[in-house]
Amino acid sequence: MSPHHLPKETALRYPWKQPWNPGFSGLSDPTNPIVYDEKTENQQNVTKQTPHGSDVHQIERRYKHFPGNNVFFLGGRFQMSTQFKAFALTLFALLFPGVLFFVFSAFWLWHHVSPAIPITFSYIYALVLVSMLKCSTSDPGILPRNSNILIYDPTHPWSVIPEDKRILVGSTRSDSAFLITTVYCHTCRLYRPPRASHCHLCDNCVEYLDHHCTWLNNCIGRRNYRYYFIFLLSLFFEALYLTVLGFYIAFASFRYGSDVNFARHLQRPWAGVSFFLGIYAALGSIFPGILLGYQCYLIGCGQNVHEFLRSKNTETEDFRPYHNSVWINFLTVLCRPKNVSYVRPRRKEMLKKLHSSAFSSVS
């Protein structure tokens, strides 16, 4: 039986069997299930022009009218912030030593030590690049903005100014519950969930916002924090591994070579480049190592960067309300399931615009 000929009782009981209606207001709700197949939809943009004084209904992808400062690529599949210069510098700092290693150093290790060493380095290096790109282009957990603008009306008895509230949240610790403050965001026009914050660079409220990383050109939130931690961990071990390999190639080739002067030995391409890579990787391992240790400390304490800085600047009753044991904190942060994007930039929605400018010349 076609969905258009379903009985009324069946349609009310099974709403997913109803035919898709572009005028249905629930389409813009991010939690509303998809009631039509987007992949087989041939028409991307459907525009209906009506006479003067009426409205125009245009169906487009959400990312084309996203209110934040994010930039979308490939039809909304990838998104980033606007700090592209810092991201390009980070990408160059990662690609530059990798290219030098595979051109000058990998062949010496392959023929003189073991092929397993450059293969192992290739795996760690690929893990660094993939986790970096995944963290930079993923939705960090942006919360959709409220489409209803709250306007205070002093003459209305039920009209109030939105303000912060204290709510009771359950706990897995010995105490049953604790009070936290939920902040009302006047930009996104919503009450932020616990552990959510507003990013002033992306202009979005992000769930479990750790910080905004300029070097990765994205916010670090609940949906991409795992990739960020894997990136720091793999980058730190890759830098240490490259430091050891670079110095080993420089000194081992000098020991088994015929050169009597080490400075003259470094004039050979594989020796000089490997020695440079050892110094480059040793200096480059300091910054990700500090960040990795800082993130491990915060995870063990049950905090993120925003909560840690806020607890240092303000006097709170319990500055670590989400702290359990160290192992449970790591399992909660790194092993929790990845939820579906709230904004869903590729979802289609109906845009309603007043069709008056097109007929202004006629009037």
Task: Point out the residues that are catalytic.
Answer: 213
Using CA atoms, how far apart are residues 87 and 213, in angstroms rounded to an integer? 10
**Joined tokens for residue 72:** 């979308």
How many C-beta atoms surround the C-beta of residue 113 within 10 A? 14
Q: Where are the alpha helices (DSSP H) in the chain?
A: 8-13, 84-100, 106-112, 116-137, 225-255, 262-265, 269-284, 286-301, 305-313, 326-334
343: CB partners within 8 A, 6+ apart: 30, 62, 66, 139, 142, 144
Q: What is the number of alpha carbons within 13 Å of residue 59 lying toward its C-beta?
A: 17
Q: Fill in the amino acid letter for 160.
A: V
**Joined tokens for residue 316:** 């709170």
Helix (H, G, I), strand (E, B) or coil at 8: helix
Using CA atoms, how far apart are residues 116 and 190, in angstroms rounded to an integer? 54
Q: In degrees rounded to 5, what are phi and psi of residue 218?
A: -165, 160
